[in-house]
Amino acid sequence: MDILSLLFPREKKFYLMVEKQVLLVDEAVADFKNLIINYDVLSSGQKNKIILRICQKERSDDILYTQMVQALKSTFITPIDREDLHQLTSTFELIMDTLETISLKLKIYKIKKDNILVKQSVVLFKMFKFTRRLIFSIRNESEVEKYCLQIRKLEQKADEIYIEGLEVLFSNSNSPVTIIKLKDLYSSIEKIIDKIHEASLIIENVAVKYS
């Protein structure tokens, strides 16, 4: 028995929607990490191309999220399953929305490559890879525990990076405008990281229910 029969015993379409949504977010997170890491060597055109891909994935995710909500309203599912599924897909949708917003802000702010953003993007990338694995390992209790532990450790590391970033930002002789821009970006990425952690807790909770 896999996640399909666990979460959506009557409706395979829900599993396919979740799978597609996870893949969309995973691809967008990978694009975002590559954008941040290579920010100083990419041309404006290359940056815009990556940002456009992220925006297109966000549009696809919006459509998928709407389809999911409509399907939930028209299909009989037990209350717990409905709540879990809606909460999970809503969390992924918020992650994608925020990722698009940050990407567009990078284009507007025209900042230089930043070490804290690089560190955050790497942690973000690793966390979602574990989240993706977690979803497809939900029947394996030891795997669920392992991936959730890794996600918690990365979330704690992300908190440390965020604090480090603020300390450096306010201790150096940065202009007020630079401080505002970078603090906004740091905080927005931290928000995504927190949401990924929330998604892992939702999945862990579902695994416990069906263990």
Q: What angle do CA 200, 203, 208 make, to 5 degrees?
A: 125
- Confidence label for 79 from pLDDT (cuts 50, 70 and 90): very low
Residue 78, C-beta contacts closer than 8 angstroms, at least 6 positions apart: none
Q: What pLDDT digit, counting tens, does each position of 52-67 carry?
A: 999 999 999 999 999 8
CA distance 203 to 61: 19
- Comparing 74 with 45, which gets the higher pLDDT? 45
CA distance 142 to 2: 15
Q: What mean pLDDT is reported for the chain?
A: 89
Domains of the chain: 3-209 (1.20.58.220)
What residue type is assigned to position 138 of the chain?
A: I
Of 159, 154, 118, 119, whose CA–CA distance to 134 is shortest? 154
Burial class of residue 82, CB neighbours in 10 A (0-12, 13-18, 19+): middle
Of 136, 157, 158, whose CA–CA distance to 147 is shortest? 136
Residue 76 pLDDT exceeds 70: no
SS3 (DSSP) at 2 = coil
DSSP 1: -
Q: Is this model's pTM higher than 0.85 or not?
A: yes
Q: What pLDDT digit, counting tens, does each position of 84-93 carry?
A: 888 999 999 9
DSSP 211: -
- Contact between 155 and 201 (Cβ < 8 Å): no
What residue type is assigned to position 77 of the chain?
A: I
DSSP characters over 134-202: HHTTTT-HHHHHHHHHHHHHHHHHHHHHHHHHHHHHHHS---HHHHHHHHHHHHHHHHHHHHHHHHHHH
Q: What pLDDT digit, counting tens, does each position of 163-176 carry?
A: 999 999 998 888 99
Q: What pLDDT digit, counting tens, does each position of 111-128 carry?
A: 999 999 999 999 999 999
